[in-house]
Amino acid sequence: MRNTLDRKFLHLMSRAQEPGISVFHGFKAPTSNTTYTPNQFFDVVIPNFSRGVVRIVAYLVRKTLGWCDANGNPQEEQIEVTYSELETKAGVSRDMIRGALDDALAGHLIECVTEGRAKHAHDAGQSARYQLCWSSAPYTTRLVDFRGFFEGEGNRTDIPNEFFDVLIPNEPLSVIKVVGAIIRHSIGFQAKHGRRRQQVALSYQQIENYARFGSRSDLAKALRIALEKNYIVRLESGVFSHEAMERRRAVYAIRWCDFPNGQKNEPAAERSEIQTSISQISEPADRSENRTNIKTKPGNETRNSLAADSDLLRKQLLSFGFTERTVINLMREHSREDIQQQIAWLPDRAPTRSPAGLLRRSIEQRWPAPIKLRAPEVAGTSGWEFARSFYAAYGGNRGEPVNEPSSREAEAAETFVQRLIRATKEEGRAAEWGRELGTLARDQRNPFPSLTLAIRQLGDAFLVQREKQRLQVQLVGITQRREGHEQRFREAWLQWLANREAEMRTNQPEELARFITQRERDRAELEADPKPWSRRVLEHFDTDIARLGAFRQFFGLPDFWQWDTDINNQSFQTKP
């Protein structure tokens, strides 16, 4: 028993000394030492499969695409792996390997090329050989449609090797999901006509939906671990607010090994975050703002003053019912000024049940000041004009509105007006829209005395109706321009057909003779048919337009719009 415990202790000590487990100093710049990874590894594998499957597929991706020859082809496509290798290098425990392999095979992630054989007395055995499963089907991120990694051009990203060598074999799946989501949405996303992103704004909900997290608490814990271990960096903190206009997503980026360590180069929004291995952890963010004042005081006096302020703030937080551990975490992760400001604003938030819980959320999520303290200047804005016009129409006033909307109503209306502008591509109609919505609310069976309630109940239908009107006007405009375009270039198209007929008369007389013979048959059928429509067709049978139309159909030449798209150098454009 003692020997067994000693072996386990030595094994844990040896793993603790591995480079992958030590302090991570950031990913190397993606100019070399990268693996050209299919984006479906992030879109399909990581969100939908177990940690064992992710680690096995990642190991095969690294071995297959991490080493290529001078022509860019993988040096090894079929990888021979043993259980021992998957355990020590891929990081999959031995009792989980078989199940993970079966799931990867069933999910069309890998293929077994050669089955393995166990060792026997007269058989040395054979290790199994696997390879990534590739597919020529269109690129998909849907698990039900996935039949192998997309083998066409594009849809791949150069991923730093440390992601496969350090992070995946050693971290839990939740951390892999967080870092993978940020990689996919930053360097894994290439802007149209531009380069790859270096940072990305992501909300909790976006990460939770993309990576398929089981709970919000698991996501929060994984984000904290990824930040503390230097896998990612938070450039700007997000803001949660009950007001939609005040909400802001956090901005994340991959932690590169050459990320600036000096505080003067660090984004201001990150100064209150927990930063390991960089200078900010030993220097609170608020000092940089008052540095000149601090220098005028003796060192001991400054330190004593800061210590007294910190002790006073600690006692103030404890008085709200926080535990000592919670107070330490809040004071470590947030500046003193931010905490004091949220405490001062707490009475104006009118907490009813749990003042401590409300205060903690406001500190952690950096809520802005309460609306009644902000007192925004809303007069003259689009939202203010919309709200005034809404109440005027609702009250039956067709003249100048007399009602003065509240700041909250003006802000809610401003958000709605901006959505209407994006939907209709029109500006300057806030008052008109306000009156239309007010009239609609007035005509409802149930009254809508509140603009906010009217927007909540009727806003979506109102928005869809305005968008339909825009699309209808746009469709009418496109139809009219298409008709004008066809009238303008129809003669050019007919002349093009006539030129093809003349070329065939010179170069392919036999083919043209076949066409003429068919025309004579068609004429004979029309002449023998007593129906009125046959006679009308026969009247125009020998016109140039009728002949060229039959010539086009007989030889499968382009109709007007196909000719306009493929040949006309002044082809029709949807936008004028």
Structure confidence at residue 496 as a pLDDT band (50, 70, 90):
very high
Please name the CATH architecture into which domain 171-281 falls.
Answer: Orthogonal Bundle (1.10)
Q: What is the mean pLDDT of the chain?
A: 78
Residues 409, 389: Cα–Cα separation, whole Å: 12
381 contact partners, CB below 8 Å, separation of at least 6: 410, 414
pLDDT computed for residue 77 by the predictor: 62
Residue 69 token pair: 């020859």
d(CA 223, CA 200): 15
Q: How far is CA 570 from CA 88, 561, 573, in A?
A: 65, 12, 9
Confidence of residue 19 (pLDDT cuts 50, 70, 90): very low
Question: Distance (Å, rounded) from C-alpha 151 to C-alpha 556?
Answer: 35
What is the pLDDT, as a whole number, of residue 194? 56
Q: For residue 123, what pLDDT band results from cuts at 50, 70 and 90?
A: low
What CA dihedral angle connects 170, 173, 175 and 177, to 10 degrees?
Answer: 130
Does residue 340 surpass a pLDDT of 60? Answer: yes
Q: For residues 207 and 181, is the Cβ–Cβ distance under 8 A? A: yes
Quote the distance between the C-alpha of residue 249 and its chain's center. 12
Q: For 356-370, how does the pLDDT look when each residue is reduced to its tens digit (9 = 90+)?
A: 888 888 888 878 776
pLDDT for residue 17: 41
pLDDT of res. 9: 39
1 pLDDT exceeds 90? no
The answer to whether 54 and 211 have CB atoms below 8 angstroms apart is no
Higher pLDDT, 103 or 68: 103
pLDDT above 60 (res 18): no
pLDDT, tens digit (0-9, with 9 covering 90-100), for 445-495: 556 567 888 888 888 888 888 888 888 888 888 888 889 998 999 999 999
- Judged against a pLDDT cut of 70, whether residue 328 lies above it is answered with yes
The least confident of 148-162, 269-283, 300-314, 384-398 is 269-283
pLDDT at residue 55, as a whole number: 94
- Mind listing the pLDDT tens digit for each residue in 509-568? 999 899 999 989 988 888 888 888 888 888 888 888 888 888 999 989 999 999 999 999
pLDDT band at 109 (very low <50, low <70, confident <90, very high): very high
Please provide residue 547's backbone torsions phi and psi, each rounded to the nearest 5 degrees.
-65, -45
Lowest mean pLDDT, pick from 288-292, 369-373, 412-416: 288-292
Percent of the chain with pLDDT over 70: 77
Q: Cβ contacts of residue 343 below 8 Å, gap of 6+?
A: 316, 359
Count other Cβ atoms within 10 Å, centred on residue 276. Answer: 12
Residue 444 phi, psi (nearest 5): -70, 155
- Beta strand 156-160 pairing with 34-38: antiparallel
Is there a contact between 218 and 150 (Cβ–Cβ < 8 Å)? Answer: no
Q: What is the mean pLDDT of residues 231-251?
A: 75
DSSP line for 75-91: S-SSEEE-HHHHHHTS-
Residue 79, strand partner residues: 130
Banded model confidence at residue 275, pLDDT cuts 50, 70, 90: very low
pLDDT recorded at residue 279: 32
- pLDDT band at residue 175 using 50, 70 and 90 as cut-offs: very high
pLDDT of residue 44: 93
Mean pLDDT, residues 311-322: 87
Check whether 216 has a pLDDT greater than 70: yes
Report the distance separating Cα 126 and Cα 119, nearest Å.
Answer: 8
At 32-91, the pLDDT tens digits run 678 889 999 999 999 999 999 999 999 989 888 876 655 555 656 667 777 788 888 888
Q: What are phi and psi of 50, to 5 degrees?
A: -75, 170
Span 435-450, mean pLDDT?
76
Please write the tens of the pLDDT for every residue from 284-296. 333 333 333 334 4
Domain ranges of the chain: 34-159, 171-281, 374-472, 473-566
Cβ 257 vs Cβ 27: under 8 Å:
yes
Give the neighbor-by-neighbor strand order of the sheet with 200-202. Answer: 200-202, 250-254, 232-236
Position 278 confidence tier, pLDDT thresholds 50, 70, 90: very low
Tell me the C-alpha distance between 466 and 458, whole Å.
Answer: 12
Same fold: 34-159 with 171-281: yes
Average pLDDT over residues 186-198: 71
Q: What dotted CATH number matches 34-159?
A: 1.10.10
